[in-house]
Structure formats: structure tokens, C-alpha cells
Amino acid sequence: MRLSRIITALVAGLAVAGVPAAAGAAQPYPPQPPSLTATDTTVEIGQATTLIGTGFGANELVRLDFTFTPLAARAPGAQPARVETGGMGAMAPASLELKGGPAIPSTTVRANSEGRFTKVVKFHHAGQVLVTATGLSTARVASVTITVFRPQPGLPVTGSSVGSQLAVGGGLLATGVLLVLMTVVWRRRRRQDVTAGSMS
Amino acid sequence: MTATSGKRRRRSRGRRRLRRVLLAALVCACLVSLSGGWLVLRGWQTREHLVGAMRLARSLSEQVRSGDLVQARRTLAALQQQTAGARSSSGDPAWRGAGHLPYAGRNFATVQAISIAVDDLARLAFPALLSLDPAALVPKAGRLDLAALRSTAPTLAAAEPEVRKVDRRVDALPTAGLHPQVRDALRQLRDELDNLTTVTTAARIAAALLPPILGANGARTYLLVSQNLAELRATGGIWGAYAAIRTEGGQARIVAQGGTASEDLPMFPQPVLQLSPEMRALYGDLPGIYAPDVNLTPHFPTAAKLYREMYRRRSGTSVDGVLATDPVVLSYLLQAIGPVQVTGQTGVVSQPTLAATTAVRTLLSDTYRTLDLKAQDRYFAASARAVFEAILQRPIDPRALMTVLDRAVEERRLLFWSAHEQEQEMIAGTRLAGVLPEREQVPTVGVFLNDGSGAKLGYYLTHEAELTVGDCRRDGRRELRLRVTLSSSAPRSGLSSSVLGLGLSGEPYTARTLVYLFSPARGSVVSARLDGTAVAVGSGTERGRHVGIVNVETPPGRTRVLEATLLTPVDAPGTADLWLTPGVSPWTTHISSAPDCKK
């Protein structure tokens, strides 16, 4: 009795896990919302973004591959990105440093019972990174492209405020020069006064 | 004595010197006032000639558009007299000399340059434009006069470089330090030149392309597809119905008709053409396997190529091109040709007559609400045929037809792709081609809508877009802030299953819209917020642009606000532009530019 219940549950589980694969294969005609998204699709080097995967199999292992393309080129190249990942999803490792190189710097993450996972990633090279998530049981594939820029020195500034800053700076400089000159003149006059006084 | 005579001599010498000085001053004053007077006279004459020329140019443009060529030729002769006058009165040596004066000199030089430009246009460009009779672009008794079109093609081709030459020269004139009146005149001339460049380019392309397209060099076949705006796709809507049109010797006729979603073009097991990895990452295999999804991409040539191949696999015919239109264009055409009776379908729909004011509602709402699937297909086919016949057979005012077609192209509702490479190259730079450019002068943000609910709820959507050019970053990029508002006026109940379709949003009356945000070329999409809350964004690339995808579900009566931050490429100007999916109702748009970044 107990064994049959377990088998039934297992079969049901397998059927549920198989649904996304079947759905993925059949591809209903309207486009579906993306299965792999990111909180920020453009980041600076070292800035974290969270990858969110949905629609994968319940508790499925999902492999994340990273393909890096320098910003100037258009076609996705094969050079792997140097990536640092820190997990937030169910059973995901807390933090993982993956070095670039000829070896594939992929990582895996386990989806939760609803087929959802999240993963925090940071990149160490400027360029465009194609992140591809592949469900290891369902073979479901989804991707997201992250643009990585070099960090900006200081805060962004508007064109007009640069002008006003320059104006303020220039004004201050002029005031300073004027004050110095006045001091010199005043001191010279005082010295002259003193000399005149000693002569009289 | 000696002292007295010496004093006298000195005094008389002094007087003589004074007299000489006075005389010299007088001569100088006379010369200055004479040349000043001469310049004023010449200036007044030049102004009179230019004002007269401007008035005549306006009448000329009206007469050309209304097809009154006899009157237009007279106006042109008068116009040429005026421009020659302006050229000669601003071209004499005194005027040229005044051009070198400090301060005011630039005004003289600019007026002379304007006069020369206007005269060049009147002599070299306008006569060529008059050689094309707009009536030749409208079919008479079902046939287009190809011989007339062909004979004007070389003349028109020669006019365009002349206009461009003048345009470049006028563009190079400096505006700083000009008298307000001269600056205004220069600005007006630049605007007119922009218009004229567009017109000459369009006329040259039309004269060169229409004859081969209409079968002057042998029969051709085209697919005319109707974009169903009730189910949104990036270029407008799903290509619901098609008609294969055969052209020969200036005549066109429908040879086959079908429906995209019906058995005519069912789903293919594999993509019919190889899709690039970036296309597959954004849209999966859908554009390659299913006809209603070919235009998930906003790049029209890709969609047209896929559709052509799907049609070839089913019919065995390789068409020469694809022309896409939509019911809104149909309503514009009905304005020009008058109402059309849809025969053979009376009693099926409450509005058997298609009229400009009701066509969109009849085709995109009433039909789905009142007819079953088969009857819908029949009605669409019958209405397309009725309008097509009316355009070919009825006498049409060429001016009205040009105006509505121009509007349709401007709104990106009329798109064309030619399978012949040379012809495609000619149109690729125009709005008609729907080419998503890989390089651009003004950073352009694309907001493309793809329906994700599998329903016909797009009919009830209204949309607004606001784009603000923001801060300059230290790396030379600019921040762009985009705000897209989607509202649904759908009812909460009472719609038929045809309208509600697959209802994939979970709630049948809620429209699921996948908003594809295309960054400017070489720019990027940073992040997005929906109704003020940060949302995760799907992302990919297409044709050198970073693409962000956000799912926006709009229940009936609700409004959703999507805000996104994007970046331009390095060294972008302070201006920006929007490219939007044309919908049933027009978009409300607002673009706020900013000054260029300081370096």
C-alpha cells in the first residue's frame, strides 16, 4: 500500500517535471515571457545583478554557461567570461569565483519546487555576456544578455551642471586672486605708510 | 612785421590743411553713403525677388500635387525669373565686397548664398520634378502607364544629386552672428530643402522601381499581407490574411488568397530558414516555424524572407516580394476612394459596406465578435478583394492618394521588401523598408509590442511613450529615461472566444503584452520598473542593439506604467527618437532633448 503510494507520487512528479519539456518542444505560437531575466541588464565591472530563472523542472539542476563578447564586436564569440557567482536560490552555493580561461566556467544551480531559481553574479571584464541556462533534466534552454561597462569615475554629471561647476570654480578662483592681490596692495601700502611715518 | 606775416602764413597753411581734411571727409562720406545706398537698393531688390520666389514656390508645390501641370510650368517660368533676379542683384561687385566687411559682412554673404541656392534649385531641380505627372502614379482603368514612368526616370535621377549638392552647401553656412531676418530665411530654406530632398528621393525611387515591380520586364508575383493589429506583433500585428498578386505590363490581379493561422500555412516542424543565434535567443524558433510569429522581430526584411519561404513551401511559388499593410491603412485608402461594398457577404456582418470611419472597428472588432473562424477568413478575403478592385478601377484623385500613402509610410503601416537585391538596396534607406538600422545619427529607442496572450485584445489597448535625454556620463554615454504607458479599454465580460483566444495571461480579459525595448545602436538597456517596482528583464541582442523584454499584463480598465533606463553609445547628441509598433489607436509620444555633452 505504502509502496504503491510512493510509486504514484513518483510518477506524478515525473509527469509534472516533463510538462515544461513537452511545452517547450511544442512551442505555442504566441511568445512566452522570458524564462531567464536579470534585475539589471547593464552593470559596471564588479556590480552585482541577480539572474532569475522560471519555468524549469521542479528541483531541477540548471547549468549556467557564460559567453563573453567584447563590446566592439557584434557576433557572440566563444571567449568565456570571468564571472563571480553568489547564489540566492534553493540549495545554491553562497558564493563562487570562476576564473576565465579555456575551461568552461559554467556553474549549476538547483531550481526550487516551482521550477524557479535566483543567482547573484558579478563580472570582471567589460563586454557583453550571454548567460545561457539549461535545465539538465528538461533540456529547457533560456538566455539573457548582460552588458558590462568599465566603472564610471565619480557620479554622472549633466552637461549644464559641468558648466555651472566650472562657473562656480572660476568665480571662486577669481575671488581668491582678487583677495591675494588686495592683501599684497594693502600690505605694500601699510609698509609705505610705515616708511613715510618713520621718515616724518 | 615778420612775426605778423609768419602768423598769417601759418594760419593760411592751417586753413588749407583743414580744407583738405574736410574735403577728404566729404568725399569719404559721399562714397560711404553712395555705396551704402547702393547696397540698400540691391538688398531691397534681392528681398523682393526672394519673397516673390517663395510665394511662387508654394503655388508650384500645390499645383504639382494637384496634377495641374500646365499651370505649374507657367509658375516655374515666373519663379525662375525671380530667382535669377535675386541671384544677379546679390551678385554684383559691391555686394560681394560687402561680404568681406567685419560684423555685417556675413549677412551679405549669406543672402548671396541663399539667392544662388534658390536659383540653382529653380533651374536644375524643379524642371525635373515637373517631368513626373503624379497622375502617372495612379492606375487608370486597372492599368498603370509604365511608359510614362520609365521616360521620366533618368530626368528624376539627375535632379536628386543637384538637390543634395545645394542642401550640402546651405547646410555648411554658419548661422552665428546673422541678422534675425537673414537667419529666419536660412532656417526656412533648410526646412524646405529637407522636404525637397525627401520628395526627389521618393520620386526617383518610384520612377525607377514601379515599372519592374508592376511587371514591365516580365510577370511578377507579390504577397500582400494584412497585419491584424488586434493581435500585436513588433511590425504591427500578426499577418492574418494574405493575397498573392500577379503583376504584368502595369496590370495587377489577385491570384490566390489565404489565412496565415488556418490550414493554408500551418506550423513547420523546423525553421524554414536558418535563424541566427541572437534571433533564437530572443524569440526561440517561433519566427522560423509559425507564420503568425515571423514578425516578432521589428526588422521587416527578416519577417518578409521567412514568410516568403513558408509560402514557397506550401504553394511552390517563390514570390518577388512582400507588401504589408493594415486595416488603418485601409481606412486611409477608403478616405481617398470612398466607401466600398463587400459583395457576397451581405448579412454576415452588420456593416457590409466598408467606410473610412468604420473600417477599423468592422475589421478588427465586429468581425471577431460576430463571425466564426471560417466566416472571418471569408470576410477578410472578400473585403481585401473589394478594396483592391476599387483602387484599380475607380477614378482616384492622385493628390488624395499620395497624401494617404505618405501618411501610411510615415506611420510605418506600409512596409515593402523586394526579393530582388538591387531593388531592395534602393528602398533600404526609406521608411517603407522597415529596416532596423545598425548605425544611426540620432539615438533611437525602439518600443515593440508582441502579444503574449494569444488573443485579439490589442484592439482595446492605448499607449503612450515619453523619452527624456538625461545625464551625460563620464564615459561619454548618455542616460535615456523611457516611460511607456499601456491602458486597456476592454470590457470585463461579453467577448466571444474568438476575441479571447488562448487567454495565456491566466485571466481571459487581461492582455499580456511582451514589451521589447530596443536600445539605440551600440547602446544598452539598463533596468526597468513596472508601476514603480523594479522588475527583472529578459534580454538579448539584435542588429547591434541591446534588447530588454518585460511582460506587462493589463487587466480591463487598468493602466500599467513601464519605466526603463537605457544608455546611448559614446558621444551621442542631446537629441533622441522613438520607433514604435503602430497600433489601432495612435501613440501619444513626447521626446525631451537636452544640450550636447560638454567635452
B251 touches B245 (CB < 8 A): no
Q: String of b and e for B169-190 (b: at least 16 CB within 10 Å)?
A: ebeebeeeebeeebeebbeebe
Shortest CB distance from B540 goes to which of A145, A159, A160?
Answer: A145
- How high is the pLDDT of residue A163? 36
Residues of B with Cβ-Cβ distance to A158 under 8 angstroms? 470-472, 594
Inspect the interface and report whether the beta carbons of A128 and B473 lie closer than 8 Å: no
pLDDT, chain B, mean: 88
Task: Please indicate whether residue A177 or residue B563 has the higher confidence score (pLDDT).
Answer: B563
B108 touches B98 (CB < 8 A): yes
Inspect the interface and report whether the beta carbons of B527 and A42 lie closer than 8 Å: yes
Inspect the interface and report whether the beta carbons of A41 and B596 lie closer than 8 Å: no
Q: How confident is the model at residue A9 (pLDDT cuts 50, 70, 90)?
A: very low
Rounded to an integer, the average pLDDT of A166-182 is 46
Shortest CB distance from B541 goes to which of A34, A128, A154?
Answer: A128
Rounded to an integer, the average pLDDT of B93-114 is 81
B500 touches chain A (CB under 8 A): no
Residues of B with Cβ-Cβ distance to A27 under 8 angstroms? 284-286, 289-290
Residues of B with Cβ-Cβ distance to A159 under 8 angstroms? 472, 574, 594-598
Q: How many Å apart are CA B178 and CA B99, to the nearest integer?
A: 12
- Within 257-286 of B, beta carbons closer than 8 Å to A belong to 261, 267, 277-278, 281, 283-286
Residue of chain B whose alpha carbon sits nearest to that of A162: B598
Q: Is the pLDDT of residue B347 over 80?
A: no
Shortest CB distance from A145 goes to which of B283, B539, B598?
Answer: B539
CA A112 to chain B, closest CA, distance in angstroms equals: 18
A37 touches B538 (CB < 8 A): yes
Residues in chain A: 200
Q: Is the pLDDT of residue B36 over 60?
A: yes
Rounded to an integer, the average pLDDT of A27-48 is 89
ipTM rounded to 2 decimals? 0.78
Residues of B with Cβ-Cβ distance to A39 under 8 angstroms? 527, 534, 536-537
Residue of chain B whose alpha carbon sits nearest to that of A144: B539
Inspect the interface and report whether the beta carbons of B546 and A36 lie closer than 8 Å: no
- How high is the pLDDT of residue A61? 96
B554 touches chain A (CB under 8 A): no
B240 touches A39 (CB < 8 A): no
C-alpha cell at B112: 548671396
Sheet containing B444-451: order of strands: B538-542, B545-554, B511-518, B444-451, B577-580
A83 touches chain B (CB under 8 A): no
Rounded to an integer, the average pLDDT of B189-196 is 84
- How high is the pLDDT of residue A101? 35
Inspect the interface and report whether the beta carbons of A31 and B450 lie closer than 8 Å: yes
Shortest CB distance from A41 goes to which of B479, B537, B594?
Answer: B537
Range from A164-178, B193-207, B395-409, B434-448 that averages highest in pLDDT: B434-448
Residues of A with Cβ-Cβ distance to B296 under 8 angstroms? 31
Q: How many Å apart are CA B168 and CA B399, to the nearest integer?
A: 30
Q: How confident is the model at residue B61 (pLDDT cuts 50, 70, 90)?
A: confident
C-alpha cell at A156: 554622472
Q: How confident is the model at residue B128 (pLDDT cuts 50, 70, 90)?
A: confident
Query: In 3D, which of B394, B284, B278 has the Cα closest to residue B337?
Result: B394
DSSP state letter for B521 = T
Inspect the interface and report whether the beta carbons of A157 and B474 lie closer than 8 Å: yes
Query: In 3D, which of B135, B134, B117, B126 has the Cα closest to residue B78?
Result: B126
C-alpha cell at B372: 466564426
B357 touches B456 (CB < 8 A): no
- How high is the pLDDT of residue B503? 82
CA B213 to chain A, closest CA, distance in angstroms equals: 33
Task: Please report the sign of the dihedral spanned by the C-alpha atoms of residue B454, residue B458, residue B460, residue B465.
Answer: positive
- Within 286-325 of B, beta carbons closer than 8 Å to A belong to 286, 289-290, 292-293, 296
- CA distances to A90, B45, B49, B110, B256 from B175, in Å: 65, 23, 22, 9, 58
Q: How many Å apart are CA B469 and CA B479, to the nearest integer?
A: 6
Query: What are the DSSP calls for B407-422, one per residue?
Result: HHHHTT--EEEESSHH
| Residue in this structure with the C-alpha cell 544629386, named with its chain if needed | B161
Q: Is the pLDDT of residue A138 over 70?
A: yes
Centroid of chain to Cα B532 = 34
Q: String of b and e for A46-65 (b: at least 16 CB within 10 Å)?
A: eeebbbbbbbbbbbbbbebb
- How high is the pLDDT of residue B599? 63
Inspect the interface and report whether the beta carbons of B471 and A74 lie closer than 8 Å: no
For B319, phi then psi, to 5°, come to: -80, 160
B229 touches B364 (CB < 8 A): yes
B536 touches chain A (CB under 8 A): yes
Q: Is the pLDDT of residue A7 over 50?
A: no
- How high is the pLDDT of residue B385? 79
Rounded to an integer, the average pLDDT of B356-376 is 79
Q: How many Å apart are CA B131 and CA B353, to the nearest integer?
A: 39
B596 touches chain A (CB under 8 A): yes
Inspect the interface and report whether the beta carbons of A157 and B534 lie closer than 8 Å: no
Q: How many Å apart are CA B323 and CA B221, to the nearest integer?
A: 11
Rounded to an integer, the average pLDDT of B57-83 is 84
Least confident of B259-268, B502-511, B569-578: B259-268
Inspect the interface and report whether the beta carbons of B536 and A38 lie closer than 8 Å: yes
Residues of A with Cβ-Cβ distance to B534 under 8 angstroms? 39
Shortest CB distance from B536 goes to which of A37, A74, A150?
Answer: A37
For B79, phi then psi, to 5°, come to: -65, -45
- How high is the pLDDT of residue B262? 60
Task: Please indicate whether residue B156 or residue A41 has the higher confidence score (pLDDT).
Answer: A41
B124 touches chain A (CB under 8 A): no
B333 touches B296 (CB < 8 A): no
Inspect the interface and report whether the beta carbons of B472 and A40 lie closer than 8 Å: no
Inspect the interface and report whether the beta carbons of B536 and A39 lie closer than 8 Å: yes
Q: At what angle do helices B2-66 and B69-89 cross, to 10 degrees?
A: 170
Q: How many Å apart are CA B130 and CA B144, to the nearest integer?
A: 19
Q: How many Å apart are CA B68 and CA B398, to the nearest integer?
A: 11
Q: How many Å apart are CA B390 and CA B386, to the nearest integer?
A: 6
A121 touches A85 (CB < 8 A): yes
C-alpha cell at B503: 487567454
Residues of A with Cβ-Cβ distance to B538 under 8 angstroms? 33-37, 144
Inspect the interface and report whether the beta carbons of B471 and A157 lie closer than 8 Å: yes
Q: Is the pLDDT of residue A94 over 70?
A: no
Residues of A with Cβ-Cβ distance to B546 under 8 angstroms? 41-42, 128, 145, 147
Inspect the interface and report whether the beta carbons of B278 and A76 lie closer than 8 Å: yes
Residues of A with Cβ-Cβ distance to B574 under 8 angstroms? 159
A54 touches chain B (CB under 8 A): no
Q: Which of B537, B567, B570, B599 to mutate to test the interface with A (most CBs of A within 10 A)?
A: B537
Long-range contacts, stretch B58-67, CB < 8 angstroms, 24+ apart: B60/B126, B64/B129, B64/B130, B64/B134, B65/B134, B65/B399, B65/B402, B66/B399, B67/B133, B67/B134, B67/B135, B67/B398, B67/B399
A111 touches A138 (CB < 8 A): no
Inspect the interface and report whether the beta carbons of A33 and B514 lie closer than 8 Å: yes
Residue of chain A whose alpha carbon sits nearest to that of B281: A143
pLDDT, chain A, mean: 65
A200 touches chain B (CB under 8 A): no
Q: Is the pLDDT of residue B409 over 70?
A: yes
Inspect the interface and report whether the beta carbons of A156 and B471 lie closer than 8 Å: yes
Task: Please indicate whether residue B403 or residue B540 has the higher confidence score (pLDDT).
Answer: B540
- How high is the pLDDT of residue B244? 93
A108 touches chain B (CB under 8 A): no
* pLDDT tens per residue across span A139-167: 999 999 999 998 877 544 443 333 333 34
B62 touches chain A (CB under 8 A): no
- How high is the pLDDT of residue B205? 86
